[in-house]
A and B are shown apart, each in its own frame.
Chain A
Amino acid sequence: MKHAFLFAALAFLLGGCSGDWGWYVVDPRTTTGITNLKFLLGGLWYTILLSVTAISISVVVGLLVALPGLSQYRVLRAFNRVYVEVVRSVPILVLILWVYYGLPPVTGITIGIFWSGVIALALSDSAFQAEIFRAGIQSIDKGQYEASHSISLGYADTMRFVILPQAIRRILPALGNQLVYMLKMSSLVSVIGMQELTRRANELVVSEYRPLEIYTVLVLEYLVLILIVSALVRRLENRMKADDQR
């Protein structure tokens, strides 16, 4: 259904465009078109690698920041608040520039484009992950902790075996949203030269002067990628729900 709609839209663009449109730049029937398409699609791998690496890190960091936020100690809760508020206030683009151009002089270590992008995206996302985890963990009934304590489970075991497995099920939709968001935000890493989808489209536009066609392909690339990811996330959610109803 969705795909039919996509192809209809594409056909409409292709068809109604003979004069002003220059689809030849991405026409798979020509050698140039093929080369260009390959170049554009080659960015997909980097977009995915960047996003998946960043979100893997941000989930872990987010959890580590969320846990002190649930502590009975005020200092730990303050750490959580400060981290979340500060990190959340910095625009991702600014963070990318700051990590890439700012960190090396400060730390003396040069970080490559890829890892600069990963660090900036992960850092930015971790504040949101922390809030998601905190809400998820807080939604678990107090009785679950009490039962765990009554069978002598310590903090770590209670979290690992009782609280987090239940919390993660509840926050799965939110985690799916964050992944989608991350895939889109990774386009910002193009500004420091990361050869992902957006950067490649920009570069091709500079040499081919066909922004409309090339950016249309770019839109479709993101659209298809994200529809696929959304479907996978939904399938995972349904599987967990089915597990719950066994």
Chain B
Amino acid sequence: MDANQTDAAISVRNISKHFGDFRALNNVSLNVRAGERVVICGPSGSGKSTLIRCINRLEKHESGTIHVDGLVLDDSRRSRDAIRAKVGMVFQQFNLFPHLTVLENLTLGPLRARGKSPEEARELAMRYLTRVRIPEQAEKFPRQLSGGQQQRVAIARSLCMEPQIMLFDEPTSALDPEMINEVLEVMTELARSGMTMVCVTHEMGFAKGVADTMVFMDHGEIVETAPPATFFTTPATERCRDFLRKILRH
């Protein structure tokens, strides 16, 4: 194992993934340092979700290697569980548990997977609910909240597991425009606190303000990796220029 794999928070090396005959990821490599904020963008179907879902084993990569915090991600349950313990994930559709209250959504993981006492779990939950600015919603059910509030609960639920790395898969794409900002604010604040983050998003304002590294994907490949300053001003490839022109027009 070389230095670059052990130091990195996430090290993805030459991974590929097929769905049937369709090649969703083709020889993709990505390094994320501890504390780094990476924003991934690219056209629909380019493999963005597939890539970050491979990192916490919601999808299984076929070839290549993935290391998270120095641990290799292989077929063993031990490796998968150890890595999931370090990685939190926020989904486009929130995926809150509809039959549980907000508080129960947040305490379930700490209680069952971390062996916390009910008091500890509750305290943890209230701390993160306060951090996403909705402590007053603790006793409500998810469907009683707005989309923006639900997504903030989902972020708090992930944070309650005290992860070292957070993955975001288009966290604002399912939201009404007026609710996007409240979620982006919470994410920006999380970035300031030093969390290692990999965000798939097309919110370019957020990307410019927060990202250390921009990644552009197309057809299952990483086409371009650059700091935002160069990425937005002088994209190296025609494909990336095209894409940026299209989404920045809005």
Contacts and interface: CB of A to CB of B under 8 A. Distances in A.
Contacts of A153: 108-109, 112-113
B97 A144 contact: yes
A161 interface: yes
Interface in B40-64: 56-58
Contact of A152 (B93, B99, B109): B109
B56 A157 contact: no
Interface stretch (A87-95, A162-170, A188-196): A162-170
Contacts of A165: 99
Contact of A149 (B58, B96, B100, B144): B58
Interface in A138-183: 141, 143-144, 146-147, 149-154, 157, 161-162, 165-166, 169
Contact of A146 (B58, B99, B100, B160): B58
| Chain A residues touching B, range | 10 to 19
Contacts of A144: 95, 97
A137 to B, nearest CB: 14
B91 interface: yes
Contacts of B89: 146, 150
A150 B112 contact: no
B112 A157 contact: yes
Contacts of B144: 246
Contact of B93 (A143, A151, A157): A143
Contacts of B100: 161
Given A157-B112, A166-B98, A166-B99, A152 B81 contact: yes
Contacts of B67: none
A76 to B, nearest CB: 17
Contacts of B160: 151
Given A152-B113, A153-B108, A157-B112, A147 B85 contact: no
Interface string B133-160: 0000000010010000000001001101
A167 to B, nearest CB: 10
Interface in A185-213: none
A81 B96 CA distance: 32
Interface of B: 56-58, 81, 84-85, 87-89, 91, 93, 95-100, 108-109, 112-114, 141, 144, 154, 157-158, 160-161
Given A161-B100, A161-B108, A166-B97, 10 more contacts: A141-B95, A146-B91, A147-B97, A147-B154, A150-B58, A150-B158, A152-B114, A154-B113, A169-B99, A246-B141
